[in-house]
Each structure stands twice: as structure tokens, then as C-alpha cells.
Amino acid sequence: MKTSIKTRLIKIGNSQGIRIPKVLLEQVGLTEEVELEVQGDQLVLRAARRPREGWEMQFRQMAEHGDDALLDQNVRSGSLWDEEEWTWE
């Protein structure tokens, strides 16, 4: 369902804002925090993404596919750099 509503900019201190009708907020699932982005001549408003959102599912999928193995299998005994480059004082 596409909903289009015309509204006016309102002055809020040194900025301007808009009132977003409840029906639009509910339609797109906006709550408290949003992100604004300029795309060409459009201002895009979307729900704010949480940091690391979706990581848990991605890690689970990596484990299921065996993609979570260590790249350096000799971690316990040290790496080549540890053996040749590291100096103790």
C-alpha cells in the first residue's frame, strides 16, 4: 500500500521539521530513532540500525558452514613472525 501525504515544513529553533502522521509511522515501523540520508534530490528517512545488528545470525551461519576456523592454526606455538621477528629485552 503506497500512502502519499502532503505536509509543510515547520520552524523548530534554527532548524525546520515536519509532522509525520501516525499512519505513515506505523506503515514503515518507525519508532524513536531514525537515520536521515540524502539520495540525489531526495531525503530518505529510515529506522536507525543498531550496531552489530544481525551478527549473531551471521556467526551461526559461519559455524554451520565451517567458515569460523582459525586462519593461523599455529596460534598456540606462535607464528613465524613471533619466532623470527620478535625480540625480548
Would you state the cell numbers that stand for residue 2, as one nine-digit string? 503506497
Instruction: Tell me how many degrees the CA angle 81-87-89 measures, rounded to the nearest 5.
Output: 160
C-alpha to C-alpha distance for 1 and 24, rounded to whole angstroms? 11
Rounded-to-integer distance, Cα 21 and Cα 28, Å: 11
Query: Which residue would you say has higher pLDDT here, 52 or 58?
Result: 58
- Closest to 20 (Cα-Cα) out of 12, 30, 11, 49: 30
Residues 37-51: pLDDT tens digits?
999 999 999 888 878
The pLDDT value given to residue 84: 79
